[in-house]
Structure 1
Amino acid sequence: MQGLATRLRRAESADGATSDGGDPRAPLWRGAQWFRALSVLYAVGRQIDEADRYRHVGWSWVMIGAVVVVSLVAGFGYVRGFGRHRWFVLAEFAVAAVLALGTVWVASPAFTAHNQTLPTTLWLTNPVVSAAILSGPVAGVIGGIVIAAINAIYRGTFPETILRDANYPVFMAVGLGIGVAARVAIRSQEQLREAERVAAEARARERLAREVHDGVLQALAFLARRCAALGGPGTELGALGELAAQQERALRRLIAETPGGTVEPGTAGDGDLVDLRELLRPLASSTVTLAEPGGAVTLPASTAAEVTAAVRNALENTLRHAGPGARSFLLLEDVGDAVLVTVRDDGAGIAPGRLDAARAEGRLGVAESIVGRMRELGGRAELTTGVDEGVEWELWIPRT
């Protein structure tokens, strides 16, 4: 992924995109100006060949000079970037209309009836191309219709010939094709930026993993071993060691996750199905017993990650509040249209009203981490508890 992003970035730089403010349509703008230059050469050559046929020869040269000047200004504006705005393109359409319809004044009716406008049909295609590059295929087709209408008005046959003249559909087809190319260029740059973002996140995650491994993970592993050696099961030190071990495993999973999901790299994305059993098995330990069905229990990756986080939070609450020696029991069930995860412990339980009091004090860990997660998934979390009766969470996750 990083190599792909680097190659794409180098190709973009070689193409000169950085000098155009990162505009993905920059190559189209530059190519359009080559087309504009050729259309100007054609218009000037035609003027040299047919100047004596105009009624006002001097004014025809003035108009062809305007074609050259306008083309230079427009070409410079589009290449440098300051002309890539709607008002600039509209001004180009206005100038094209004036020069096309101005042919009626410098030429005779007989000339206008059987000849193209003084700027030439080819040159009048330039504003259509500009509109398509700037605003996409719809704007390109509309621009083609506008230029077709201007030509029909010039011939005095509007609106009868706007769809019958062979040149007019060409205007619209050019606008459509160039507009689609511009949209593809924009989408390609968006994909490039996404690839660069993913590569940057991967590099940051790798750097974080190295730093965490050298410090936090080793400290947690040492704490877990020492607490187990000094306290053992059923003691407060033993519970602390178990908590450190669980946090070590959770942190190792976290730094192994991909930027956009919570599964191991290359296994699944957010919308792919994963086996919930695989995510719950690492939570099992000497004080946590997991019971699971024989077959896979599949959920979308993002949903499975949220369920696992809720279960982990319930187990952490047991370690903190259930008392020394408390054990936890996980039961995973596939009930067809839903998945049920039961998290139960044999600890001290929760006194009536304690959760409401914690919520009033601003401590919303259980409500937000368990109940809130289930609500966002369209499911529910049911709590059963009492003093000296342990705590039982039933997490219902619908399959939608």
Structure 2
Amino acid sequence: MTPRTDPGPPAEPDPDAAATAPLWRAVQAFRLVTLLYAVGQQVASVPHYTDQRLSWVLIALMAVWSGVSAVLLSQWRIQHSPRIRTAVVLGDHVVVIALIFATRLIANYDWYHGHQTLPTTLWAANAVVSAAILWGPLGGVCSGLLIAAAVVTTREQWDFDVWRDATAPVLISVGLALGLAANTARRAQQQLQRAVRLTAAAQERERLARQVHDGVLQVLSYIKRRGTEIGGPTAELAQQAGEQEVALRVLISEQGERADAGGPEQDLRPLLTAQATPIVFISTPGDPVPLGHWEARELSAAVAAALANVVQHAGPGAKAYVLLEDTGDELIVSVRDDGPGIAPGRLAEAEGQGRMGVSRSIVGRIAALGGSAHLLFEAPGGETVEEGPGAEWEFRVPRPPRRETDPPRRWT
């Protein structure tokens, strides 16, 4: 026997189709109502037709097409539903225009010049509505213009009377309004799905945090504590365990915020907190700090370069502290260490020797962002000594001001 394969979970429906599904169902009800109006109009107008039998045949075709198109357009879980809808909407326009011109086959000039065409304006609006939902306001307006042009051409009203007829304004207005409504529904669906994803990510992050805390983090913390107590060769193992503990905690806390929403900006905080270690302490606002992707990466790289200098020149026991401030007008990032500091003139001397690490990796990056980088104090003996040992870089990067409706920054 052939083993039966698991089909797996059902495929997630197309977000666009899910967003516009209520609109498609609603307009199909409108389609059936307009069909009843068209049939009533046929009953009232058939005595004035020159070919009454053909008019009833055309009305029957209109009814059949209304039923078929209503069923196909109201379904959004069937396979290839976008292609089917596109084909039906295009067919809708072909049927409507063909029936409009067929009015000349069943009535004389005196009748069709002063009355509605065989498919009434109300029923012909279904093609405009479908185009608006499928292609947006531009598609709806173009469809309205096309149907209105067909009506005016059939009735031979290319004169002053066309501007007093309500056909074109009604069809264009319907196409514009339904197109805007469809776009609004799509945006609402995207926001809903984004909120659902964020909620699911937060729940998963909390679940993983509990499991990791109960297992891995406790073990790493124990290894760090016991290795430090034992000393000797195990001290290095304790240090590595402590570094991995901090990195794992940062990974868990930033798991939800690291997701890129695909917008023009990203949160600067995760890029900075990812650089935290047992000797590097990061402090950021409690609210997101949005910044352009390139600007955020460059600013984070400048901080990483400053921290690399701390590791290389401040000594093995030095600690570093990074503070991010968002004043609204600019971002201020302070990178401070408690090492021996930088001797006065040492940076200029290194640059003169061709060592461009600070001038390019730090000062150059901040200058490229339109900001400034200042070394606030140096080693004892310098002219700017007020704070004691260590060194502190301050990066100032201008940014567009925050809106008045934005909430105040919270700090963690």
* TM bucket, shorter chain: 0.5 to 0.7
Are the counterparts in 2 of residues 228 and 241 from structure 1 also a CA contact under 8 Å? yes
Q: Counterpart amino acid of 1:301? A: V
- 1:327 paired residue number: 318
Q: 1:313 to 1:284 in 2, by over 3 A?
A: farther
Sequence identity (%)? 36
The answer to whether the aligner puts 1:101 opposite 2:101 as a matched pair is yes
Q: Which range is displaced more, 307-316 or 37-46?
A: 307-316
Q: 1:97 to 1:18 in 2, by over 3 A?
A: same
Are the counterparts in 1 of residues 266 and 296 from structure 2 also a CA contact under 8 Å? no
Matches within 5 A, 1:69-218: 69-80=64-75, 81=81, 84-158=84-158, 160-218=160-218
Report the Cα distance in structure 2 between the residues aligned to 1:108 and 1:89, rounded to whole angstroms. 30
Q: 1:42 to 1:256 in 2, by over 3 A?
A: same
The alignment partner of 1:69 has SS state of helix
Q: Counterpart amino acid of 1:225? A: R
The answer to whether the aligner puts 1:399 opposite 2:390 as a matched pair is no
Deviation of the 1:222 alpha carbon: 1.5
The answer to whether the aligner puts 1:32 opposite 2:27 as a matched pair is yes
- 1:220 paired residue number: 220
The alignment partner of 1:260 has SS state of coil
Report the Cα distance in structure 2 between the residues aligned to 1:182 and 1:251, rounded to whole angstroms. 44
Deviation of the 1:34 alpha carbon: 0.9
Q: Counterpart amino acid of 1:173? A: S
Q: 1:35 to 1:211 in 2, by over 3 A?
A: same
Matches within 5 A, 1:246-265: 246-257=243-254, 259-260=256-257
Report the Cα distance in structure 2 between the residues aligned to 1:76 and 1:392, rounded to whole angstroms. 73
Report the Cα distance in structure 2 between the residues aligned to 1:289 and 1:108, rounded to whole angstroms. 88
Q: 1:57 to 1:242 in 2, by over 3 A?
A: same
Are the counterparts in 2 of residues 25 and 133 from structure 1 also a CA contact under 8 Å? yes
Report the Cα distance in structure 1 between the residues aligned to 2:197 and 2:58, rounded to whole angstroms. 51
Are the counterparts in 1 of residues 246 and 278 from structure 2 also a CA contact under 8 Å? no
Are the counterparts in 1 of residues 133 and 179 from structure 2 also a CA contact under 8 Å? yes
Q: Counterpart amino acid of 1:139? A: G
Q: 1:37 to 1:20 in 2, by over 3 A?
A: farther
Report the Cα distance in structure 2 between the residues aligned to 1:206 and 1:38, rounded to whole angstroms. 52
Report the Cα distance in structure 2 between the residues aligned to 1:102 and 1:342, rounded to whole angstroms. 79
- 1:301 paired residue number: 289
Describe the superposition over 1:230-267 as per-residue Cα deviations: whole angstroms up to 9, x where unpaired: 33xxx7755654554454344334423361259xxxxx
- 1:13 paired residue number: none
The alignment partner of 1:25 has SS state of helix
Report the Cα distance in structure 2 between the residues aligned to 1:84 and 1:156, rounded to whole angstroms. 35
- Give the root-mean-square deviation of aligned CA atoms: 5.1
Report the Cα distance in structure 1 between the residues aligned to 2:395 and 2:30, rounded to whole angstroms. 64
Q: Counterpart amino acid of 1:260? A: E
Q: 1:251 to 1:169 in 2, by over 3 A?
A: same
Are the counterparts in 1 of residues 140 and 174 from structure 2 also a CA contact under 8 Å? yes
Long gaps (5+) in structure 2: 1-11, 76-80, 260-264, 342-349, 351-360, 376-389, 400-412
Long gaps (5+) in structure 1: 1-16, 263-268, 353-368, 384-390
- 2:5 paired residue number: none
Deviation of the 1:324 alpha carbon: 8.4
Report the Cα distance in structure 2 between the residues aligned to 1:315 and 1:190, rounded to whole angstroms. 40
Describe the superposition over 1:328-366 as per-residue Cα deviations: whole angstroms up to 9, x where unpaired: 4558799x977464555469xxxx9xxxxxxxxxxxxxx
Q: 1:145 to 1:261 in 2, by over 3 A?
A: same
TM-score (norm 1): 0.68
Describe the superposition over 1:28-54 as per-residue Cα deviations: whole angstroms up to 9, x where unpaired: 111111111111111112222321210
Are the counterparts in 2 of residues 260 and 270 from structure 1 also a CA contact under 8 Å? no
Are the counterparts in 1 of residues 113 and 157 from structure 2 also a CA contact under 8 Å? no
Deviation of the 1:375 alpha carbon: 9.5
Are the counterparts in 2 of residues 84 and 134 from structure 1 also a CA contact under 8 Å? no
Report the Cα distance in structure 1 between the residues aligned to 2:178 and 2:219, rounded to whole angstroms. 60
Q: 1:244 to 1:381 in 2, by over 3 A?
A: farther
Q: Counterpart amino acid of 2:254? A: E
- 2:353 paired residue number: none
Are the counterparts in 1 of residues 15 and 189 from structure 2 also a CA contact under 8 Å? no
Matches within 5 A, 1:336-355: 339=332, 341-342=334-335, 345=339
Report the Cα distance in structure 2 between the residues aligned to 1:75 and 1:185, rounded to whole angstroms. 20
Q: Which range is displaced more, 186-195 or 202-211?
A: 202-211
Are the counterparts in 2 of residues 227 and 240 from structure 1 also a CA contact under 8 Å? yes
Q: 1:104 to 1:217 in 2, by over 3 A?
A: same
Q: Counterpart amino acid of 2:214? A: D
Deviation of the 1:215 alpha carbon: 2.5
- 2:346 paired residue number: none
Q: Counterpart amino acid of 1:210? A: R
Are the counterparts in 1 of residues 242 and 278 from structure 2 also a CA contact under 8 Å? no
